[in-house]
Structure 1
């Protein structure tokens, strides 16, 4: 059924909300059936949807089909899945020991809305008393000066000229950050600063933000949301990688030996946002940069966007089949939620 043919549910009608949510593409992965979708459960769904609408500045009673799908069938199910995984994580924790925060990895291509999703999840969690920290693999990019050094050491490799591919991250910083967050609850009074990267600096080429503006987290911490466009990628064979792009061999080596495995293995559960046509990334990135320019922030020109995205496409083509077919690096069966979106970022059947 086309999205435009689906009617947004009346939030005052339990039966309508129940039918709409249960008809969504993610519900089977949440093990929710009509039998356990009691009135109390449906009322909870309506309440969460109301909070999402408030966060997104939407009118719950007059959502258009795309907005309704985004609220009831995308963001809310992902949120409910995170809560269920957190409950399972706590149940598996040793009695009497400080339970470390659950680390949920969100792997999604650039521009498909992962940053917005993380922001909405964090606000929902906070309202429910679940303290969460958000970390992006983008936030541990090399500093601008370090990126220039990397580019100068690889003058003939366009994939390492600018930030983005494996090799352009301070992976050790990322691992230390996640490990420090996971240890917070066992060390009352300790704090952890989470790095931030400002993509508007250096004319849109980006640089690490000053440390004094990095957010600080203290115990108790219940959940860490780690997101990234290449999160969960597994290296491929040396010969296979050359078929995608000869320059990708250096990136593949970094993915294999650069510490990314430690970062991935620090993740407990995964959300993978899947797209059918990776070329959509170009459109999404162009849209984001134009919005940044319109707001007066540093941004890339249209030509720079095209050049920038071209440097990511070989990695997408090489590593997405493995991510989608085998799951993220180090992931376990039953601990991966798969979300498929279309060109308009609407959730689809998996």
Structure 2
């Protein structure tokens, strides 16, 4: 098992034990937010973590992604039409392209099912209903993606001790409109010889739309997260390399994927969000940003730094 996976497992198990002493668990699942740029290896990591939590620690864990809650292809087409000039919303990816209410309700259902299971005292087995989590196939519609039929969704039954929830933008938080406007205007005044951020290739009003969309994620999803893991890299440009590798692998396996040019255009749409929101996540604990007292949430944010090969370089716990 990789040092990266070992670090995540140790962090989760220790926090689970700590929070269990507060009598909050296992009445609800421990929900772990996992953030990391596209292609950093989140899917493989989570698969290994879920397996080892079960085998080595007797903890029932499940995982799913914010990607699973992308709007359907039909809905995404409508979003594109409603924002016809905003290239950031041409297809899935950015805040505003997920069914946040559906994701919130899924978390609530999973927490309710675990509570009913944990508080059941009868001799017969609990009748807790299974919770269905959608699945999304990014290869459908020539790489534009769509939700798969409901009979292929993930079915989760308690006990559910731990939920791992990942997303490339988890932990990003909106900024006041005037702050974003100032950042945009300051960047636009840089000398022509300086490298300018990609967010300048979009209208300020379009960036403000994405910024405003983030508020729904913060209000509806972030409160469910109990501990947080941020997988980071020194070179954000690696997302292009890793995304190309993913698409080439999909095509080699017989699935439909994007061309190299389409990959660059696809990733270019994400870069403004990285440029604008990643710096703050690198500097501040996820929970301190959420308005928690720093003493109450100390030790609940793990930052892992990885290299080009996705191997762990260092870690810090905030």
TM bucket (normalised to shorter chain) is: 0.7 to 0.9
Aligned to 2:27: 99
Aligned to 2:17: 87
Query: In the alignment, does 2:274 pair up with 1:344?
Result: no
Counterparts of 1:1-350 in structure 2 under 5 Å?
Answer: 52=1, 71=2, 73-93=3-23, 99-128=27-56, 129-187=58-116, 188-190=126-128, 191-242=130-181, 243=184, 244-245=199-200, 246=204, 247-256=206-215, 258-328=216-286, 329-330=289-290, 332-350=297-315
Q: CA–CA distance in 1 between the matches of 2:167 and 2:208?
A: 21
- Return the offset for 1:259: 4.0
- Return the offset for 1:347: 1.1
Contact 2:173 2:218 in 1 (8 A): no
Q: CA–CA distance in 2 between the matches of 1:341 and 1:239?
A: 34
Aligned to 1:17: none
Contact 2:101 2:220 in 1 (8 A): no
Q: CA–CA distance in 1 between the matches of 2:167 and 2:217?
A: 15
Aligned to 1:58: none
- Return the offset for 1:209: 1.3
- Return the offset for 1:189: 2.2
Contact 1:172 1:259 in 2 (8 A): no
Please list every run of 5 or more consecutive structure 2 residues that lacks an aligned counterpart in the other structure. 117-125, 185-198
Q: Deviations over 1:257-284 (max 9, x none)?
A: x243320110000011111121110110
- Return the offset for 1:170: 0.3
Change (3 A) 1:98 1:78: closer
- Return the offset for 1:210: 1.1
Q: CA–CA distance in 2 between the matches of 1:226 and 1:261?
A: 16
Q: CA–CA distance in 2 between the matches of 1:234 and 1:324?
A: 12
Change (3 A) 1:320 1:211: same
Number of paired residues?
A: 277
Q: Which moved more, 1:230-239 or 1:112-121?
A: 230-239
Q: CA–CA distance in 2 between the matches of 1:143 and 1:281?
A: 25
> RCO higher in 1 or 2 (8 Å CA, sep ≥ 6)?
2
Q: CA–CA distance in 2 between the matches of 1:183 and 1:223?
A: 14
Please list every run of 5 or more consecutive structure 1 residues that lacks an aligned counterpart in the other structure. 1-51, 53-70
Q: CA–CA distance in 2 between the matches of 1:326 and 1:80?
A: 22
Q: CA–CA distance in 2 between the matches of 1:98 and 1:164?
A: 33
RMSD: 1.5
